[in-house]
Structure 1
Amino acid sequence: MSIEKIRDLTLVSLDSEKSLVISCDSSGSIGMKEKDVLKIPPFYVGKFTARVAIMEVMCAGGNIVTLTNVLSCEMKPTGVEIIKGIKEELKSAKIDDISLTGSTEENFKTYSTGVGVTVIGVGKRNELKINNIKDKEGCIIISIGIPKVGDEIDIKNDKEIVSYDSIKWILENDLSYEMVPVGSKGILYEAKLLCKNNNSRLKTNKDVRVDIYKSSGPSTCIIAAVKKKDLKSITSHIDYINIIGELENLRK
C-alpha cells in the first residue's frame, strides 16, 4: 500500500489499479450559536462545508462512496440541521445514495459551531484527473464560476457559482486534463500550483475579467486545464468562464 499527498487530496492505493481519493474540509464560528462570527442557519453550514470536500474528490474523477461529519455541537437542534444540509448537498450532487456517518458533542455545551467533513472516493489511478496533462501545447487554464466568500453568496440559489452538473458534464465528455476547486488562496495560486505539479509554468492572460486573488470560499469556482480547441464547446454549455492563461513548458 502506498500513500500520496497531492494538493488537498490524499491517495491511498488499494491494489495495482485502484486508489482511495480522500478530501476533507472544516468550518468554525459560522452558524447561529452565541459566539459564531458569521450568522448563518446551520443547514447551510452543513451544505457548504460538504460542498468543498465533495468538489475536491469529484473534480479529481473519484467515485464518491462515503462522507463522514464530525460536529462540535449537540445533535438537537444544531446537529440535525447541519446533517440536513449535508444530505441536501449530496442530493444536489446526485450522490445521496452513499454512506453517511458522523459524530456530535453530547458531553459539553458549545457556544460556537464547528464542523469537519471527510469525503472518500475510489478511482482507477491512471484515469484520475490529477497531474495528468499529457499535451501542454495548446493547453489553457480557465476558471468556472465567480469567487465568493461569506455573505456574498446567495445561500439559497446562487447562479454564479460553479455547479456539480457543469463538472460532471466536463468529466463525461473528457474535456479537461485536470480540474481543481479554488479555495481561500484564490484562482492564481491554484493555477500556478497546477502548472508546477505538471512541470510547466503559467503565462497569465492580461485581460482576465475575474478577481484571481480573491478567496473562493466554499469552492464557488474551479479552475480547469483544457485544450484551447475545446473552449468553444465548453462555453456553449457553461456560464461564467474566464481564461486565466496558458501553459508553457519549463526550459530544460
Structure 2
Amino acid sequence: MRDVLFLPATGDSEMVIATDCSGGIGEKANDILFVADNVVAYFAMRVAMMELLSVGATPSAVILSNFTGEKSWQAYMSGIQKVYEELGMNPLPLVGSTETNMMLQQSALGLTVLGTVLKNKKRIKKTPKNAAFAVIGVPLAGEKVLTEQALVAPLSLFKKCLDTPGVFEIVPVGSKGIFYEFQLMLTMNGFDRYNVDCSLPLNESSGPATCFLISYNRTFEQELQALCGRHFHKINIEY
C-alpha cells in the first residue's frame, strides 16, 4: 500500500494520515548531518504533505512532535510555513508537543498531516494499461539534498502536476528508490510482467521525496514535458 493510512470517517469520506520523521539531522553538536532546523522541518512537512495530497486528500490539521527542544520550535514552524507558501495554501490548525524533561544530544522531530478524501476521489489504482510514466526530479539523499537543490522537484511543480488534466496518479519517491515505488504502482494497478528503463538511478534513495512518479495519458506528454522542463525524466516500460 501507499505510505498513508486510510480510516473510515463519515458518509462517503475517509480520514487520511501521512507522516514523516527526522533524527540526527539539525543544529546540535552531535547531529550526524548539520542542517538548519527550519530546513529539517521543511523537508519533513514536504514529505507528509506530498503523500497526503498525492492520494487526492484535502489536508486539515498538522501534528508536530519536537524532541529537539524549545529553542527549535520557531524554526520548525518557519519550515512548515514555507511548505504552505510553496503550495499556495493557508496554514492549517496545528497541535504539538516539545520534549523538555530530557535534553537529547541529537535533534529529532516528527510531522503528521491529517486530511480527508471522498472514497470515489482517491487517486490510487487509477492508472490504465496504456498509460505513460515519468519521474519528476532526481533521487537525492543526505547532504546532496542541500548541495544539489536545483535537481529537487519543486513543491510548486508537484502541485501543478496534481492539477494537470491527463495525470492519473502521483507517487512521491522515498528512501527505497524509484524502482520500488514504480513496481508498487504497477502491481496495485494490475500490471504483470514488465521491463523498466530510465536515465535516472532506479534504486538510489530519494530521501525527502526529492522526486516523484507520475502516470499520465500519452496525449499530454508534450504539455507535461513543457511544464516540468529539465525535471522531466521519462520511464520506458516493456511488457
Please, what TM-score do these two structures have when normalized by structure 1? 0.88
Q: How far apart are the structure 2 equivalents of 1:82 and 1:141? A: 35
Residue deviations 1:58-111 (CA, integer Å, cap 9, x gap): 111211111111011211x22221222122222222233311221101112111
Q: Which residue of 1 aligns with 2:144?
A: 152
Q: How far apart are the structure 2 equivalents of 1:202 and 1:187? A: 17
Structure 2 counterparts to residues 108-187 of structure 1, below 5 A: 108-133=102-127, 135-136=128-129, 138-154=130-146, 158-187=149-178
2:205 is aligned, of 208, 215, 224, to: 215
Q: Which residue of 2 aligns with 1:11?
A: 6
Q: Unaligned regions of 5+ residues in structure 1, if any? A: 1-5
Relative distance call for 1:120 and 1:202 in structure 2 (3 A) is farther
Secondary structure at 2:143's aligned position in 1?
Answer: helix
Q: Which range moved further: 96-105 or 195-204?
A: 195-204
Q: Which residue of 2 aligns with 1:245?
A: 236
Residue pair 1:31, 1:39 contacting (<8 A) in 2 also: yes
Residue deviations 1:197-252 (CA, integer Å, cap 9, x gap): 1111363343x21111111111000001112222111101112111223385xxxx
Q: Which residue of 1 aligns with 2:51?
A: 56
Residue deviations 1:22-64 (CA, integer Å, cap 9, x gap): 1001100001112210011111111111111011011112111
Residue pair 1:43, 1:85 contacting (<8 A) in 2 also: yes
Q: Which residue of 1 aligns with 2:85?
A: 91
Q: Which residue of 2 aligns with 1:3?
A: none
Residue pair 1:195, 1:202 contacting (<8 A) in 2 also: no
Secondary structure at 2:50's aligned position in 1?
Answer: helix
Q: Which residue of 1 aligns with 2:189?
A: 198
Residue pair 2:87, 2:159 contacting (<8 A) in 1 also: no
Structure 2 counterparts to residues 216-231 of structure 1, below 5 A: 216-231=206-221
What is the percentage of aligned positions where both structures have the same residue?
26
Q: How far apart are the structure 2 equivalents of 1:212 and 1:15? A: 40
1:160: how far off? Answer: 2.0
Q: How far apart are the structure 1 equivalents of 2:209 and 2:24? A: 18
Q: Which range moved further: 119-128 or 197-206?
A: 197-206
Relative distance call for 1:202 and 1:147 in structure 2 (3 A) is farther
Q: What is the alpha-carbon root mean square deviation over aligned residues?
A: 1.8
Residue type of the alignment partner of 1:122: T
Q: Unaligned regions of 5+ residues in structure 2, if any? A: none
Please, what TM-score do these two structures have when normalized by structure 2? 0.92
Aligned length: 238
Relative distance call for 1:73 and 1:62 in structure 2 (3 A) is same
